[in-house]
């Protein structure tokens, strides 16, 4: 890895302590791209999935590698096993194999890299994206774009300050069926809108009871923790179960809820709620999980509401809705399931439907087209921030056991210091994101 950063210092301090090439990289970054210019991408975070296949980051790297005039130059992960697998996987798509790295900051120093794809654990999403913007890179960041509300604000500020293209990984913004369905809503297909509901079901196993253990030789545990305050290595955290610990994750609400909540907010045409109430608990298994496996969240916008219901330890049954989300108007209901939608009148008769391919490639291509100046981002980071904020507010409400209210002028939590304290987090010394 070359020069180490054992104290966990910020990128600014890291650069000041000997990485002078980064300054040249920032100065030399392209700001104008032609329609046929090749875009060089680095994939940060490549973990294998729960059953041993390509993880989310490797999948995205393969998608980038398959796009015209795009080359994945690096794959990066703190688990050296994942780096080796990612190189092998991406090499199946492009002729020239990517290089492997453990420390993404070294990649940011390379002036030939135009953009980065970030699919790390949640606590790294915003800090890594902010550092990338500061280094002159465009950013594709997976959902949720931040571990807390303050980080999302800072990421929007970084995108603006450094004039970077930042796409949020809420892919349904690009799916043809979603785009068509929401156009139907705007055209009045079901009349005046007043409510949207969405659901998530999964059959996740128990985490069990973990214990402190020696750090495996394949893992850079200090760098995995990064901005999060240090904790001893625990044997049931890496690589997936971190989602269910508040120290690193954002619960199922941030993990999967953000996808459908984003579409609901988009369809209703709402931004900041007046109040958010979230209840539930960890009911199924007696284990180490801190986040709920059963969740009911209501977001009240005054004249409209969004509700999200999740059950993580018991999959969808025949008694549950078959669709992912539903919009209610005074003249009907529009439902969306995967890459298709249907419209029903008040009597339940289907009066319209549509479908289209989903997936990630079109969303990534939209990001690349925006870098080249030929398209507008479908999930620009400020839209991502507003949807992720709903998830953070829901988590705050759940953790405190009460409704959270926003000041309509500042869009910050009002009259609740304990809730406001969860707007941000504690950081490892020297790692707090700054713009």
pLDDT of residue 53: 63
| CATH number, domain with residue 55 | 3.40.50.720
* Contacts for 305 with CB less than 8 Å, ≥ 6 apart: 194, 195, 196, 298, 299
Pair 128, 243 in one domain: no
Q: Average pLDDT for residues 403-417, to the nearest whole number?
A: 95
If you search the block for the tokens 């929007």, which residue do you land on? 156
Q: Tens digit of pLDDT for each residue in 163-183? A: 999 999 999 999 999 999 999
pLDDT of residue 246: 98
Q: Is the pLDDT of residue 414 over 80?
A: yes
Which helix (H) or strand (E) segment holds residue 41: the answer is strand 39-44
Pair 308, 403 in one domain: yes
**Maximum alpha-carbon separation in the chain:** 70
> Is 117 within the bounds of a domain?
yes
Q: Tens digit of pLDDT for each residue in 295-346? A: 999 999 999 999 999 999 999 999 999 999 999 999 999 999 999 999 999 9
* CA dist list (Å): 252 to 119, 162, 185, 199, 257: 16, 32, 28, 11, 6
| Strand-strand pairing, 332-337 and 340-344 | antiparallel
From 82, 136, 77, 69, select the one nearest 102 (Cα to Cα): 77
> Is 52 within the bounds of a domain?
yes
Pair 190, 151 in one domain: no
At residue 354, the 3 state secondary structure works out as: strand
Question: Could you give the residue ranges of the DSSP H alpha helices within 91-220?
Answer: 104-108, 122-134, 149-161, 176-186
* Token representation of residue 195: 């409510």
| Strand-strand pairing, 340-344 and 350-355 | antiparallel
Q: Average pLDDT for residues 240-250, to the nearest whole number?
A: 97
At residue 281, the 3 state secondary structure works out as: strand
Q: Is the pLDDT of residue 355 over 50?
A: yes
Last-in-domain residue among 118, 149, 171: 171
At residue 158, the 3 state secondary structure works out as: helix
If you search the block for the tokens 């529009």, which residue do you land on? 334
Pair 125, 188 in one domain: no
Q: Tens digit of pLDDT for each residue in 68-97? A: 999 999 999 999 999 999 999 999 999 999
Q: Tens digit of pLDDT for each residue in 362-407? A: 999 999 999 999 999 999 999 999 999 999 999 999 999 999 999 9
> Is 307 within the bounds of a domain?
yes
Tell me how crowded residue 283 is: count the other CB atoms within 10 A of its CB: 12
Last-in-domain residue among 171, 199, 220: 171
Question: Could you give the residue ranges of the DSSP H alpha helices within 226-306?
Answer: 251-252, 258-268
Pair 165, 177 in one domain: no
Pair 179, 157 in one domain: no
Pair 155, 179 in one domain: no
In whole angstroms, give the CA distance from residue 191 to residue 185: 8
Q: How many helices (H) and strands (E) does the chain have?
A: 14, 15
Q: Tens digit of pLDDT for each residue in 114-165? A: 999 999 999 999 999 999 999 999 999 999 999 999 999 999 999 999 999 9
Lowest mean pLDDT among 12-16, 44-48, 345-349, 421-425: 12-16
- The answer to whether 140 and 350 have CB atoms below 8 angstroms apart is no
At residue 7, the 3 state secondary structure works out as: coil
From 152, 153, 156, 174, select the one nearest 164 (Cα to Cα): 156
pLDDT of residue 220: 98
> Is 430 within the bounds of a domain?
no
Pair 167, 177 in one domain: no
* Token representation of residue 330: 């005074």
Q: Is the pLDDT of residue 12 over 50?
A: no
Last-in-domain residue among 127, 148, 171: 171
> Is 96 within the bounds of a domain?
yes
Pair 183, 303 in one domain: yes
Range of the domain at 285: 173-207+237-357+377-423
From 45, 182, 37, 62, select the one nearest 101 (Cα to Cα): 45
* Contacts for 67 with CB less than 8 Å, ≥ 6 apart: 361, 364, 365, 368
- The answer to whether 148 and 424 have CB atoms below 8 angstroms apart is yes
DSSP string, 394-429: HHHHHHHTS-EEB-TTT-SB-S-HHHHGGGS----T
> Is 224 within the bounds of a domain?
no
Q: Average pLDDT for residues 351-367, to the nearest whole number?
A: 95
**Percent of the chain surpassing pLDDT 90:** 88
> Is 106 within the bounds of a domain?
yes
Pair 135, 181 in one domain: no
pLDDT of residue 50: 53
Q: What is the CA radius of gyration of the chain?
A: 21
Count up the domains in the chain and report the number: 2
In whole angstroms, give the CA distance from residue 49 to residue 239: 8
Pair 313, 394 in one domain: yes
Q: Tens digit of pLDDT for each residue in 255-268? A: 999 999 999 999 99
Pair 165, 178 in one domain: no
Strand partners, 71: 40
Q: How confident is the model at residue 17 (pLDDT cuts 50, 70, 90)?
A: very low
pLDDT of residue 54: 75
Q: Is the pLDDT of residue 49 over 80?
A: no
| CATH number, domain with residue 318 | 3.30.360.10
In whole angstroms, give the CA distance from residue 239 to residue 236: 8
From 112, 49, 40, 104, select the one nearest 72 (Cα to Cα): 40
Question: Could you give the residue ranges of the DSSP H alpha helices within 162-206?
Answer: 176-186
Tell me how crowded residue 316 is: count the other CB atoms within 10 A of its CB: 14
């Amino acid at each position: 890895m070359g020069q180490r950063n054992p104290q966990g210092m910020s990128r600014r301090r890291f650069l000041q302590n000997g990485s002078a090439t980064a300054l040249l990289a920032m100065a030399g970054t392209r700001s104008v791209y032609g329609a046929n210019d090749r875009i060089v991408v680095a994939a940060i975070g490549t973990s294998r999935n729960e059953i041993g296949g390509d993880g989310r980051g490797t999948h995205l790297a393969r998608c980038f590698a398959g796009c015209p005039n795009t080359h994945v130059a690096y794959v990066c992960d703190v688990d050296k096993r994942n780096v080796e697998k990612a190189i092998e996987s991406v090499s199946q798509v492009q002729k020239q194999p990517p290089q492997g790295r453990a420390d993404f900051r070294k990649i940011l120093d390379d002036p030939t890299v135009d953009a980065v794809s970030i699919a790390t654990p949640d606590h790294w999403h915003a800090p890594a994206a902010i550092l990338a913007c500061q280094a002159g890179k465009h950013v594709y960041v997976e959902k949720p774009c931040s571990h807390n509300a303050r980080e999302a604000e800072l990421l929007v500020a970084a995108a603006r300050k450094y004039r970077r293209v930042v796409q949020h990984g809420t892919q349904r913004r690009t799916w043809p069926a979603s785009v068509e369905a929401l156009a139907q809503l705007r055209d009045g297909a079901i009349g005046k809108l007043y409510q949207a509901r969405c659901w998530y079901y999964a059959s996740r196993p128990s985490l069990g009871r973990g214990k402190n253990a020696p750090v495996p030789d394949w893992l850079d545990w200090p760098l995995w923790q990064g901005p999060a305050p240090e904790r001893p290595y625990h044997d049931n955290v890496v690589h997936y179960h971190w989602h269910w610990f508040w120290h690193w994750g954002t619960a199922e609400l941030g993990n999967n809820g953000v996808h459908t909540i984003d579409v609901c907010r988009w369809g209703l045409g709402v931004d900041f709620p007046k109040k958010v109430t979230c209840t539930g608990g960890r009911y199924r298994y007696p284990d180490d999980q801190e986040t709920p496996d059963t969740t009911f969240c209501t977001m009240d916008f005054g004249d409209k509401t969004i509700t999200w219901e999740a059950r993580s330890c018991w999959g969808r049954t025949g008694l549950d809705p078959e669709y992912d989300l539903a919009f209610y108007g005074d003249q009907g209901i529009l439902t969306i399931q995967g890459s298709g939608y249907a419209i029903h009148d008040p009597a339940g008769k289907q009066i319209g439907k549509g479908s289209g391919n989903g997936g990630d490639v079109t969303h990534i291509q939209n990001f690349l087209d925006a870098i080249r100046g030929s398209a507008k981002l479908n999930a620009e980071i400020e839209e991502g921030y507003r949807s992720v904020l709903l998830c953070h507010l829901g988590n705050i409400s759940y953790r405190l056991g009460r409704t959270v209210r926003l000041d309509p002028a500042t869009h910050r939590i009002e009259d609740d210091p304990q809730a406001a304290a969860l707007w941000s987090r504690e950081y490892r010394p020297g790692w707090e994101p700054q713009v």
